Chains A and B, each alone.
Chain A
């Protein structure tokens, strides 16, 4: 399939803990390219429709690798509303930059990486936003030793990923933008409006202009909202796309069951979490997260994020507890015991959230279902 060079690169990549999407899914990307009949905006690697197919999956495609025709399945990378991906792709082809917002663990970075891989062929031009990110990280910095020796010239300039993306007409990924201080964020204003970076230290080459195709995909956690909120000027230059937490119960059950099973297998644990218990666990998570139960009862929401990733973690903890300290069989009481730490993290008042849920919701269900009764009893016992 892949050439020798790629095989070598691939062999090296195998040693890495994690490979970028453009490497991991290069066969799919190549197959899509070979079958792409729609026009791609210059210099996109794929047409918008092919990018969409890459991310939401599609029919297997035939492609030629080393002269051989092979059928490549196009797998779904993003589980959720396809229109989110459509809107994201369209935004990246427009004048505005894209900001993916949502709770932690909703797949913002995952989507951002795949978009960059499919559109630009590289997902590694990334700025990681932190409280310590400076304007130099976003624009450019200097090789100080050489500047001292030679003075500032273009050879001594160290381009940031932003500058590289601008020069290549690629996508820049800006992770956790709201972790950066406001004045650092604002350095993006001129990049997004003028599509240029000024280098006053180089009088003869004092501007770097972005090539067509340059755009920015930023991500931000809704939990960070209000910490370093984007200025009005910057907000205007972004289209916001909110990535919701998986709201489909069936999908979430499948994800938790699959991932918990995989992780327990990795730990070589013989214990498994029975489906009714997974059902209770995901129901509790979903209802507390949404602040509303399936029966229509409104409940308080905790201050912490109650993500699917947390549910997986509770399932694992419950299984480990049952294996080492319990009967060996995971019950609703094990889930209840281990769930408290996930819900009550940052604020002790979240105990009241759990108590309210137990009294208003689990108690009623417990009248008909033993698992819910065990859950109710253990929660109340544990938080007394």
Chain B
């Protein structure tokens, strides 16, 4: 990688067929126009710095900013000194009349109008925020000029259904044939599916996600996709666009902001010249630019200003919009629009949160901004290294000052080798890994990467002036409470017990709402009765909740704001985050699946099913897999009640069962603290196998792995449990189990004393089979006790006693009777012979008990 000016790069890019003279001419034309255009990149401190210099020097009377034009009224609240970034302009559009035809696709049901929210985050160093603040300082007016986001949403309806004068379909856009070849037009389908085909593009959740992503994205993805950038990255060795940006523009000192403006403009012009026009049509770039142009013209006319009195601050890509384009932008569809400013966090604006236009390291760039303002730009990397190592030390990792020095030296040398005068974040990360990670970064680097993320992203949360009023999510909470007849709880701080019956509509709605609040940790309701898996308790339809309002409810709701504008959306977003966090744990994801059913989030159920599918494939932990399996079996029944799809669940159950069987061998030497859990999961798995209502579960696979585990286990308790399970499965004759005990009687004392643990394991899992083979087992134990001397007997005794205490009292009595018979202390009495299998008898007994409980609960 070498440090070269853009024009030097151009020389290397002759294969691109880039008309350099034409690009130069375009740049010259824009830069010398009467209206002053300044190219920006979102969340770039260096752009903000140069922009501030220019604004202070030029003192424009009006500044047109690429911000949401529907939110111009909010500008005074952004300027308010009590508003502290990070904040975001929140804008939502509710399609009340289903003008876009996306009800049921982008909303949970066809009778629910879809809501399209967008956040426009602003950090302290976002050029747009800095422009607003500086404009206020110099007395300039600010006007947002971007097209409202809801005018960009692709409709699922045929074009003629829309009332919009300029429908959003591709067909409505006149394409300049001189710029778009037939080949390009013909390739439209390859580039992007036709908007009318939206409905066939995947699940509703995927469409919803795609709309969200498209609305969040600016024009930067066009630069990244351009042939110019692709070739530049290949030539210069940039691994990411972030690295390219930082190398070329962010981590460079520009003495003259005009030099920066020229270089960045040239970069954008070359990118645009190598971007297919059709891409700009499909992602609404052209529509947006038409809107920007009209807004600027109208603004100047209304304020009676000359172009030279104004300044435009917009994405660099838009600098080269077609100024001769006379077409009007699309008219936004009718519906309810809500705009406000909300507190935001560094995490939410980071790429890690999934925000499409996020920055990779908000805290790092905050440091760049702060130190630039203190004239200490060249100290950024050293300060950041210290910050990373400090984060690492907080977690108990030992990194010395010598390590910090080595990382700093390495960072600087690496950046020089890569042709940079000031190190970028990539150099710093590479140096940290090289100097501080002693091994494979994937295995050894976990704590270091956690520290890097913490130092890069930071924890800052913004504040919004109270002048603005209630946040949408807070309003949604109170509106729900009123509509569910729960208004009496509010503002009283008194407890209220509520019993809901989910067979009734109100009860069902209340249950769903409470489950959502509980999941979101809003401290207003607690579930006092009704387990999550209703079938296990027998209380199918009833839940008891305790409600109590307190002032902390509001603060919890405000924190939820970053997840969404309603309780439902917040629950969706929070659950999505949980899915991401727990993606490796099948057990936890299965629990989330259950939650998504409780919270009535059908789309989320589908998404969770997909996550669960991945988690099952990824998770190799026996306990987690069996937890997932048992939860899914509960869900399997629950979904019948909820009338939801089961096909996929059946497949997941089989896969989870197979994986759990393979994972048995991993727990043969489980530590003592996990052994009880392992055993209870084994029993659960055995029960699933024995119940037989899932035909696809391979009983032999389970039995084979239990047998292998019994052979391999060095832990007597677990060995006993494995053999006990085999006995329960009728894969091991009771006499064989007895033979094993007999074998212990003939072993050395060290082995013999493990008999207590072994029997404890057997009895932890085996009931009926033990009783069936009671005679042989009693004889074997008798042999064991006769063989044991006093001291070994004392060692065995506690565990042996614990083993027998695991048995039900009737079984214990029965066993005692057999012992008495064998010793001639009691006459034999005939046992009632079972004419059905023991497992079936147990199931009948369970069913009988459950029916009795259900009937009692129904008060029938």
Of B223-231, B247-255, B435-443, the one contacting chain A is B435-443
Given contacts A52-B417, A298-B620, contact A96 B440 (CB under 8 A): no
Task: Tell me the minimal C-beta distance from B669 to chain A in angstroms.
Answer: 12
Is A360 within 8 A of B659, CB to CB?
yes
**B430 in contact (CB, < 8 A):** yes
CB closest chain-B residue, reference A353: B662
**B406 in contact (CB, < 8 A):** yes
Is B618 within 8 A of A90, CB to CB?
no
**B414 in contact (CB, < 8 A):** yes
CB closest chain-B residue, reference A82: B237
Residues of B within 8 A of A222 (CB): 439-440
Residues of A within 8 A of B410 (CB): 87, 90-91, 94, 239
Is A296 within 8 A of B618, CB to CB?
yes
Is B414 within 8 A of A90, CB to CB?
yes
Within 8 A of B (CB), among A351-369: 352, 356, 359-360
Of B409, B435, B440, B658, the residue contacting A101 (CB under 8 A) is B440
Is A91 within 8 A of B440, CB to CB?
no
Of B237, B433, B439, B619, the residue contacting A298 (CB under 8 A) is B619
**A69 in contact (CB, < 8 A):** no
Residues of B within 8 A of A235 (CB): 438
Best-buried of A83, A102, A241, A296 by chain B (most CB within 10 Å): A83
Q: How many A-B residue pairs have CB under 8 A?
A: 83
Is A94 within 8 A of B406, CB to CB?
yes
Residues of A within 8 A of B554 (CB): none
CB closest chain-B residue, reference A300: B620
Task: Tell me the minimal C-beta distance from A359 to chain B in angstroms.
Answer: 7
Docked CA distance A292–B402 (Å):
38
CB 8 Å contact bits of B412-427 with A (1 = contact, 0 = none): 0110011000000000
**B665 in contact (CB, < 8 A):** yes
CB closest chain-A residue, reference B237: A82
Residues of A within 8 A of B435 (CB): 96, 239
Is B413 within 8 A of A94, CB to CB?
yes
**B739 in contact (CB, < 8 A):** no
Task: Tell me the minimal C-beta distance from A235 to chain B in angstroms.
Answer: 5
Given contacts A87-B430, A95-B406, contact A242 B440 (CB under 8 A): yes
Residues of A within 8 A of B618 (CB): 292, 296-298
**A240 in contact (CB, < 8 A):** yes
Task: Tell me the minimal C-beta distance from A185 to chain B in angstroms.
Answer: 14
CB 8 Å contact bits of B446-464 with A (1 = contact, 0 = none): 0000000000000000000
Best-buried of B403, B431, B439, B659 by chain A (most CB within 10 Å): B439
Within 8 A of A (CB), among B375-427: 400, 402-403, 406, 409-410, 413-414, 417-418
Docked CA distance A293–B617 (Å):
9
Residues of B within 8 A of A62 (CB): none
Given contacts A91-B410, A96-B406, A242-B440, contact A49 B617 (CB under 8 A): no
CB closest chain-A residue, reference B418: A86
Docked CA distance A227–B56 (Å):
65
Is B619 within 8 A of A360, CB to CB?
no
CB closest chain-B residue, reference A48: B417
Interface size class of chain A, counting residues whose CB lies under 8 Å from the partner chain = 35 or more
Docked CA distance A236–B237 (Å):
31
CB closest chain-A residue, reference B413: A90
Within 8 A of B (CB), among A111-126: none
CB 8 Å contact bits of A211-247 with B (1 = contact, 0 = none): 0000000000010010000000001101111101000
Task: Tell me the minimal C-beta distance from A177 to chain B in angstroms.
Answer: 13
**A93 in contact (CB, < 8 A):** yes
Is A236 within 8 A of B439, CB to CB?
no
Best-buried of B413, B417, B433 by chain A (most CB within 10 Å): B417
Is B402 within 8 A of A236, CB to CB?
yes
Is A240 within 8 A of B438, CB to CB?
yes
**B434 in contact (CB, < 8 A):** yes
Docked CA distance A298–B666 (Å):
14
**B309 in contact (CB, < 8 A):** no
CB closest chain-B residue, reference A49: B417
**A295 in contact (CB, < 8 A):** yes
Is A225 within 8 A of B439, CB to CB?
yes
Within 8 A of A (CB), among B83-128: none
Docked CA distance A101–B437 (Å):
11
Of B406, B439, B662, the residue contacting A242 (CB under 8 A) is B439
Docked CA distance A248–B64 (Å):
48
Best-buried of A90, A292, A300 by chain B (most CB within 10 Å): A90
Docked CA distance A87–B237 (Å):
15
Is B662 within 8 A of A360, CB to CB?
yes
Residues of B within 8 A of A349 (CB): 665
Of B418, B440, B617, B665, the residue contacting A297 (CB under 8 A) is B617
Residues of B within 8 A of A101 (CB): 439-440
Task: Tell me the minimal C-beta distance from A331 to chain B in angstroms.
Answer: 27
**A89 in contact (CB, < 8 A):** yes
Task: Tell me the minimal C-beta distance from B845 to chain A in angstroms.
Answer: 36
Docked CA distance A46–B438 (Å):
28
Task: Tell me the minimal C-beta distance from B236 to chain A in angstroms.
Answer: 12
CB 8 Å contact bits of A255-292 with B (1 = contact, 0 = none): 00000000000000000000000000000000000001
Docked CA distance A294–B658 (Å):
19
**B214 in contact (CB, < 8 A):** no
Within 8 A of B (CB), among A330-384: 349, 352, 356, 359-360
Given contacts A89-B417, A94-B409, A296-B614, contact A241 B434 (CB under 8 A): yes
Task: Tell me the minimal C-beta distance from A250 to chain B in angstroms.
Answer: 17
Residues of A within 8 A of B619 (CB): 298
Given contacts A94-B410, A352-B665, contact A87 B434 (CB under 8 A): yes
Of A86, A96, A296, the residue contacting B417 (CB under 8 A) is A86
Task: Tell me the minimal C-beta distance from B28 to chain A in angstroms.
Answer: 33
Residues of A within 8 A of B441 (CB): 242
Residues of B within 8 A of A298 (CB): 617-620
Residues of A within 8 A of B658 (CB): 359-360
CB closest chain-A residue, reference B407: A239
CB closest chain-A residue, reference B658: A360
Residues of B within 8 A of A83 (CB): 239, 430
Docked CA distance A161–B659 (Å):
53
Of B413, B440, B662, B665, the residue contacting A93 (CB under 8 A) is B413
Interface residues of A (CB under 8 A from B): 48-49, 52, 82-83, 86-87, 89-91, 93-96, 101-102, 222, 225, 235-236, 238-242, 244, 292-293, 295-298, 300, 349, 352, 356, 359-360
Interface residues of B (CB under 8 A from A): 237, 239, 400, 402-403, 406, 409-410, 413-414, 417-418, 430-431, 433-435, 437-441, 614, 617-620, 658-659, 662, 665, 708
Give the 4 A-B CB pairs with smallest separation, nearest first: A297-B617, A242-B440, A90-B413, A298-B618
10 more contacts with CB within 8 A, not counting A86-B417, A225-B439, are: A83-B430, A87-B414, A94-B406, A95-B406, A96-B435, A222-B440, A236-B403, A240-B439, A241-B434, A360-B662
14 contacts between A and B (CB under 8 A): A82-B237, A83-B239, A86-B414, A86-B417, A91-B434, A94-B406, A94-B409, A239-B406, A242-B439, A242-B440, A292-B618, A300-B662, A359-B662, A360-B658
